[in-house]
Homo-oligomer: A and B are copies of this chain.
Amino acid sequence: MNYHLAIDIGGTQMRAAIYPPDQIVPAHISRITTQHPTDTPLERLEELIESVLPSDGVVERIAVATPGPTDPYRGILYEAPNIPHWVNMPLKDHLEKRFQIPVDLGNDANLAALGEWKYGSGQGHHYLVYLTVSTGIGGGIIVDDRLLLGAHGLAAELGHVSVMPDGPMCGCGQPGHLEAVASGTAIAHWVEQQLVEGAQSALRALPRVTARNVAEAAQKGDLLAIAALQRAGDFLGIAIAGFLCIFNPTVVILGGGVSRSGPALLDPLRASLHRHAFTPQYVENLVITTAYLGDDAGLLGALALARGTR
């Protein structure tokens, strides 16, 4: 049997899976922690790959979803914020030498978009915007049935567009980026600020506020939590209205943990998007949906890449 091997590397864990032809259920999937007392993350990755190599066939191609900005043309991971020492890491060359199998890389948010387009909520669409909202905000774009990569693979960094020139500082050091007002980190931070300023909320009882706490409190009717998600939804709507002008997609897919916050986030987001859409044509028949593949989007995007989808 001829398999394809897909890998999703995260700061906490890595997963690898081999897939028989035409299937999206893996024949074998394996998971390993990225950090280890004695082995380097690269050794962990090699160990993981060895654990899924099939005994009843060959692997035609490997594709890797990487946790940071990546040059897919040269197969270099520029930087992995959560994996120390992985700077300009030539993963493609390294793995090809080690396993004698062709290897492709792609940024995980880009590949999640590819996965949703090929196997998830984006099937059948030709222009797609995927936004993952979790600790940070990342993105992936399909333009005319192809993944938007950019000249050096750095395209679709949708969390770092400006939505508020004098807004809060982003983790990247610039003010007012979408990520600085609408990511999980930003939502929790805004709530903590309001608590310091004396706002009433059940969240005050917690030692530390997270975006998940905020979503749960909002479901129970906590007014501060509802206001926090309203604010994030407003800014997401403004940013997405801009992406509609730029790409004129037929589907917008929201992934990442924060996107599962429910109507307290999604209702204001939709309202803001409709309010800010340049003309009604951009939202007529537009599908706005949450990701279908959940945490498997990156892995299945890597599978699509290994199978030759670009």
* Residues in chain A within 8 A of chain B (CB atoms): 69, 78, 125-127, 141, 143-144, 146, 148-158, 160-165, 172, 174, 177, 235, 238-239, 241-243, 245-250, 276, 278-279, 281-282
Known: A165-B164, A241-B162, A278-B157. A248 touches B151 (CB 8 A): yes
Collect the chain B residues with CB atoms within 8 Å of residue A143's CB: 143, 148
Q: Within the oligomer, what is the number of copies of this chain?
A: 2
Q: Which residues of B contact A238 (CB under 8 A)?
A: 162, 165
Is the Cβ of B248 less than 8 Å from the Cβ of A150? yes
Report the nearest B residue to A238, measured CB to CB. Answer: B162
Give CA–CA (A164, B238) in the complex, Å. 10
Q: Considering the complex of A and B, which 6 residue pairs feature the smallest CB-CB distances, nearest first?
A: A150-B248, A161-B242, A154-B248, A157-B245, A155-B248, A160-B278
Q: In the complex, which residues of chain B have a beta carbon less than 8 angstroms from the beta carbon of A152?
A: 248, 281
Known A144-B146, A146-B144, A281-B152; contact A158-B248, beta-carbon cutoff 8 A: no
B-chain residues with CB within 8 Å of residue A141 when the two chains form the complex? 246
Task: List B contacts of A158 (CB < 8 A).
Answer: 245-246
Known: A155-B245, A160-B278. 13 other contacts (CB 8 A): A69-B279, A127-B151, A144-B148, A148-B247, A153-B248, A154-B248, A154-B279, A158-B246, A161-B161, A161-B242, A162-B241, A174-B276, A243-B246
* CB proximity of A288 to chain B, nearest CB, Å: 14
| Also in contact, A151 and B249, with CB within 8 A (given A172-B279, A174-B276, A276-B174) | yes
Contact B153 A242 (CB under 8 A): no
Residues of B within 8 A of A146 (CB): 144
**Which B residues touch A243, using CB under 8 A?**
246
**Inter-chain contact B276/A162, CB cutoff 8 Å:** yes
Name which residue of chain B comes closest to A143, CB basis: B143
Which residues from B are CB-within-8-Å of A279? Answer: 69, 154, 172
